[in-house]
Amino acid sequence: MRRRLFGLLFSLVILNGCSLSASNFANPTSSSNPCPSESQGTLTPENLQKVTFNQQKFKESNHVKEKVDRGYQFQAQAGYRLKSDITNSTCIVVYKPDNQLLRIEEFAKLPVTGSYILQVFVPQGSTQYDLTLSLEDPRNVAVAPSVPPIPSPSPNNLLPTSPQASSTPNSTTFFKSIPNSTTFSKDDAVQLIQDWLDVKKKVFAAPFDRQTAARFNTGKRYQEIIGAIDWLQANKSYYRYPTAGKVEAAGKFSVSGNTATAIVQITESDEFYKDGSLTKTSESTTKTQTAQFQLENSTWKILSIN
């Protein structure tokens, strides 16, 4: 009988309690591997914990017993490296955002952006365990991405949030990929920010589209947006943008390798709702800001706006 995860059935590939790397990946067919080929346990919502990578690493000491699995859900960006260490004879599996198992070779470079679940279980008995999780950016291995919860429902805490158009663009309309850094111009930079404003309504309100956030943003900015989305959903809140946002070039523009910088003017306004009721309105304001961009997999994305 296959293990049930929230009512869905999946086959398992097993990791022994160790660091998640190709060299340490346990072979479920090996007689020395204490983990069975599949779990007979159930992962219930109350045993699924959301993980935020504050201060670079997540650490947890807990208890797991036979047929009562524990899970850790976290947001990760494509290309990041997943590392995990766990003590005692504890078994681990990791699911990708599409609910498929993460393969050996994918730990060093996560294949997609989205929500991952690491599941801990034991084939029999019970045990205490110490778990350490971290994500590493291959561009800066010493720094793991942070997903801090925002302290208050302020638009400024959702990154430099800007209003978006009153009409929603077609969901397939996104900023086109730029093949190399030399083709990225000042007009491209302005249009990229404008496109982000035009789709932001479905990021900071239902359906809280994380994939759209990943199409336009990268690095710490993307991680903070995911933290903001988590906060909004947990607090039954969302934003609306009653007027069209506007972006204009306002000064210097430069490109250096895979990065670019532009001075822009952003006009924005928003409305904050909680439990379906309007609780705060921000009047339209225009600010001159510095935007940074980064070329990632042949696509320019917003790295920061300050």
DSSP 122-133: -SSSEEEEEEEE
Residue 103 lies in a domain: yes
Query: Rounded mean pLDDT of 206-220?
Result: 90
Residue 151 lies in a domain: no
Last residue of a domain, one of 102, 136, 170: 136
Query: Rounded mean pLDDT of 237-247?
Result: 88
Q: Within this chain, do residues 190 and 283 fall inside the same structural domain, yes or no?
A: yes
What pLDDT, in 10s, does the model give residues 276-299? 889 988 888 899 999 999 998 888
Which pTM was predicted?
A: 0.46
Residue 20 lies in a domain: yes
Last residue of a domain, one of 117, 136, 155: 136
Within 10 angstroms of residue 257's Cβ, the number of other Cβ atoms is 8
Q: Within this chain, do residues 20 and 130 fall inside the same structural domain, yes or no?
A: yes
Residue 69 lies in a domain: yes
In the three-class reduction of DSSP (H, G, I as helix; E, B as strand; rest coil), residue 40 is classed as: coil
Q: Within this chain, do residues 15 and 127 fall inside the same structural domain, yes or no?
A: yes
- Counted domains in the chain: 2
Residue 54 has a pLDDT of 62
What pLDDT, in 10s, does the model give residues 87-125? 767 888 888 888 788 887 788 889 999 889 898 988 888
* Number of alpha carbons in the 13 Å side-chain half-sphere of residue 166: 3
Which structure tokens are listed for 61?
């000491």
13/38 Cα distance (integer angstroms)? 7
E strands in the chain: 4-5, 8-9, 42-43, 48-50, 57-65, 70-76, 81-86, 91-95, 114-121, 126-136, 237-240, 246-256, 259-274, 277-296, 299-305
Q: Within this chain, do residues 27 and 108 fall inside the same structural domain, yes or no?
A: yes
Q: Within this chain, do residues 197 and 100 fall inside the same structural domain, yes or no?
A: no
What pLDDT, in 10s, does the model give residues 147-165? 333 333 444 344 433 333 3
Q: Within this chain, do residues 114 and 191 fall inside the same structural domain, yes or no?
A: no
Laid out side by side, the sheet with 42-43 consists of 8-9, 4-5, 42-43
Residue 161 lies in a domain: no
Model confidence band, residue 260 (pLDDT cutoffs 50, 70, 90): very high
Kindly list the distances between the CA atom of residue 87 and the CA atoms of 45, 59, 100, 132, 227, in Å, as whole numbers in the listed order: 24, 12, 25, 9, 29
Percent of all residues in the chain with a pLDDT value above 70, rounded to a whole number = 72
Q: Within this chain, do residues 192 and 78 fall inside the same structural domain, yes or no?
A: no
Host domain of residue 16: 4-136
Residue 159 lies in a domain: no
Residue 102 lies in a domain: yes
CATH number at residue 243: 3.10.450.240
Residue 8 lies in a domain: yes
CATH number at residue 119: 2.60.120.380
Q: Within this chain, do residues 43 and 119 fall inside the same structural domain, yes or no?
A: yes
Note whether 88 and 95 are within 8 A (CB): no
Residue 282 has a pLDDT of 85
44/147 Cα distance (integer angstroms)? 24
Q: Is 67's pLDDT higher than 80?
A: yes
